[in-house]
Copies of this chain bind each other. A is one copy, B any other.
Amino acid sequence: MQQPIAILDSGVGGLTVAKEVMRQLPREKIIYFGDTARTPYGPRPADEITRFTREIVDYLIQYRPKMIVIACNTATAVALEDIRSRVAVPVVGVIHPGARAANSSTQTGVVGVIGTEGTISSGAYENALKQLSPTIEVVSLACPRFVTLVEQGNFRSEETFNTVKTSLGSLQAGNLDTLILGCTHYPFLAETIGEVMGKDVRLISSDGETAREISTILHDRNRLERAEDMPVHQFFCSGDPVMFKRIAQQWLGEQIELTPIVWQVPQIANRTVG
């Protein structure tokens, strides 16, 4: 039987990672869990985020995943090591792939990181970068207004340009040549962020980088899927399935031909909402 890759997120943001896994590894079956009933995780205390993440992993483990992907910056920052110590399969977060890509890309040794306040204050990107290269210089900046712009679908307006330009002003000095978009929502603003930062700054999105590390690790462990049949993905959410399905189809459906989706709302929602 084909063992899936389990991808979990606090809501819909992790669908960008799922989309990249579908693009880069079209043979792999995905099971996705969006904890839409309890999103966002950002403002929650660390022990609560760890508990939520454990609950979702406990739920997904019944599907015998060959790998668990924490496709949420906040949950990765707080709970990655906890989950790694609890399960036998490899666990991948979104922070180390982004940090590794930036470390590989930078020539000046100066890397910027933008993210939510929770992710930035955790210092997780800085720790991951310094673990690789002790002398790397990291400039971190919380951009709390960006998520709202994305959730409004406001990717390319003048208001968006002005907000991005004002927010990123402090990053434009110095030798910074690489900028990590440390939030799954930010890739939707990549064009605007690119215009503001200029063409000499390379933008790193965790979605594509995480999909690539999933591929590397499955190959190293000799667990890449060999079956020729196209996989049937499964999506779960803890909140309103109608809204989740609409967003997922909008994000995934246009460029990727989806095999039939089994929509299920697990019991976890009833236990934990509110």
Q: Give Cα A24 to B25, complex, Å.
A: 26
User: Which B residues are CB-close (under 8 A) to A104?
Assistant: 24, 208, 211-212, 215
Let me know if B100 and A212 touch, CB within 8 A.
yes
Q: Give Cα A103 to B96, complex, Å.
A: 20
A224 within 8 A of B: yes
Which of A41-49, A130-138, A165-173, A190-198 is the interface stretch? A130-138
User: Which B residues are CB-close (under 8 A) to A213?
Assistant: 216
User: Which B residues are CB-close (under 8 A) to A101?
Assistant: 212
A151 within 8 A of B: no
Contact of A220 among B26, B132, B217, B224 (CB under 8 A): B217
A254 within 8 A of B: no
Let me know if B216 and A100 touch, CB within 8 A.
yes
**Least CB separation from A136: chain B residue:** B26
Within the complex, what minimum Cβ distance (angstroms) separates A175 from chain B? Answer: 16
Let me know if A134 and B26 touch, CB within 8 A.
yes
Let me know if A224 and B24 touch, CB within 8 A.
no
Let me know if B134 and A215 touch, CB within 8 A.
no
Q: List 11 A-B residue pairs with CB atoms under 8 Å apart, sorted by A's residue number.
A: A24-B103, A24-B104, A25-B133, A26-B133, A27-B134, A90-B220, A92-B220, A96-B219, A97-B216, A132-B224, A213-B216
Interface residues of A (CB under 8 A from B): 24-27, 90, 92, 96-97, 100-101, 103-104, 131-135, 208, 211-213, 215-217, 219-220, 224, 226, 228
